[in-house]
Amino acid sequence: MLEDFENRVLPTKNKLFRFAFRLLGSSEEAKDVVQEVLIKVWNGRENLTAIQNIEAWCMRITKNLALDRLRSRQRRATNPIEAVAEIKNETLTPHERTEIHEHMQRITEMIAALPEKQRQVIHLRDVEGYSYNEICEILELDMNQVKVNLFRARNTVREKFVKINAYGL
């Protein structure tokens, strides 16, 4: 059983981490969430055989736990603006800050500023390359909602690009 866990569940850890990080904007918290997810999956290992797509299942649990954290953080925060600023600063590692050019930083901010659902969908599709069906399964949304959110996310990015080109910002 442990072997099965090591071969099928544990290798998803980086995908889970990236998704949790996208939602929380903090690598420490994202790591905690991934640990929580893995332990949760291990505790429910009896039901694991019934699940077809284990990776999508783990991603879904990650989403739920990360959102729980986000909600409790928002409940605690006296100033919600601070929380947003925190995400923006931490999305770039020191390495990225010096190495990667300005464009990249701007895009990071653009994506971070997207509404939560759009951010989730664009991450799952454009970063991780999941199919629409998998995204539906992970986010517990129907196909239409997934497509609408992806369209809005991509469209926001596109409009920003058009603006940048028009004003040469």
Binding site for another protein (CB under 8 A): 2, 5, 10, 13-14, 17-18, 21, 27, 31, 34-36, 38-39, 42-43, 96, 100-101, 103-104, 107-108, 111, 123, 125-129, 131, 147, 150-151, 154-155, 157-158, 161, 164-165
Identity of the residue, 78 or 95, whose beta carbon is nearer to another protein in the bound complex: 95
- State the nearest-atom distance from the C-beta of 60 to another protein, in Å: 18
Q: Are 119 and 19 in contact (CB under 8 A)?
A: no
Q: Are 120 and 23 in contact (CB under 8 A)?
A: yes
- State the nearest-atom distance from the C-beta of 68 to another protein, in Å: 11
- State the nearest-atom distance from the C-beta of 97 to another protein, in Å: 13
* Gyration radius (Cα) of the chain, Å: 17
Residue 31 CB neighbour total at 10 angstroms? 16
- State the nearest-atom distance from the C-beta of 123 to another protein, in Å: 8
Using a 10 angstrom Cβ sphere, with 0-12 exposed, 13-18 middle and 19 or more buried, the burial of residue 97 is exposed
